[in-house]
Amino acid sequence: MKKQLRKIAPVVKFYRKYKKKNKISSLIGMTSIEERFYYENYAERIYEGEGAIVDLGCWFGSTTISLAIGLAKNNKVRKAKPKIYALDQFLWEDWMVPFVKETKWENYFKVNDTFIQAFEENINKYKKHIVTQKVDLTKFKWQAGKIEFLLIDAMKSWDLLNAIQQNFYPYLIPEKSIILHQDFCHYYTYWIHLLTYRLKDFFSPVDATNSGSSVAFLLTKKMPDFVLDHKYVLSDFSEDEVEKAFEYSLSLVDDNAKGAIIAAKIMYYKASNGLEKARKYLDEVKEKGIVHYDISIVDDILKHS
């Protein structure tokens, strides 16, 4: 990552060594092996047990298990026996189908089925480290105290953005707590970039994985109640602030991830200005020769809109 990011974990150095062992590559999930190692490395080497580890949107458990493997090796917190809180609705959706292809779960679930039994089976070996909660995060109220690491893979809408900020951010510890946006480099979640920029005075970027879509931030100072209680909507953000927000996000990631953030900006234009503006910006991106998988997805979305 860029030099201005304060590394909280020596990801690249240890990942190269660890990659040969390949312990977590067989986990079912939507995360890269490097991201899984990042979670494991954090829980083993960085986590100090002052607050909980919270995994929002744990799906089949690749994030949760990676954290649990690391936590089990963390001698600093062994006596305290801290837990990882794994929160998800555990409701099956059509878009999940490709991620279980050629596994025992292929064709197993229908839309709106609960898949919590698959999660519990996957984490069985590590369950002593995990508290599993089937919840609707837009209604859930966190009551388990301070949070030291907040892995966010559930900020899939404005409602979830507001619920997560209002219900979890107040429990973060200044100069200690890390939030990690697993969807930071993803075409769908453009609102993450707007919120990140708006809160840049409170969160400092500290790390990002070279593969996958994760970017981590350190809470640098206490957030006032008027910030925590605010309910964000798209109209809160001027066009000027949006431009600065995406410039800021692009400055935090390596070249291989920039295309996903550009794709998210196209989706912002689609949501705020309509198809004409989105298509115009997409054409500009293509003329510049910028190519990325997420951009191709957005291109297809616009063609069918």
Query: pLDDT tens digits for 77-106?
Result: 988 899 999 999 999 999 999 999 999 999
pTM of the full structure = 0.92
Q: How far apart are CA 68 and CA 76, in angstroms?
A: 14
Q: What is the per-residue pLDDT for 207?
A: 85
| AA letter at 60 | F
Helix residue ranges, H only, 55-157: 62-72, 116-122
pLDDT at 275 over 90: yes
Q: What is the per-residue pLDDT for 21?
A: 53
Query: pLDDT tens digits for 121-164?
Result: 999 999 999 999 999 999 999 999 999 999 999 999 999 999 99
41: number of Cβ within 10 Å: 22
301: nearest Cα among 269, 260, 267, 257: 267
Per-residue burial over 112-149, b if 16 or more Cβ lie within 10 Å, else e, is eeebeebbeebbeebeebbebeeeebeebebeeeebbb
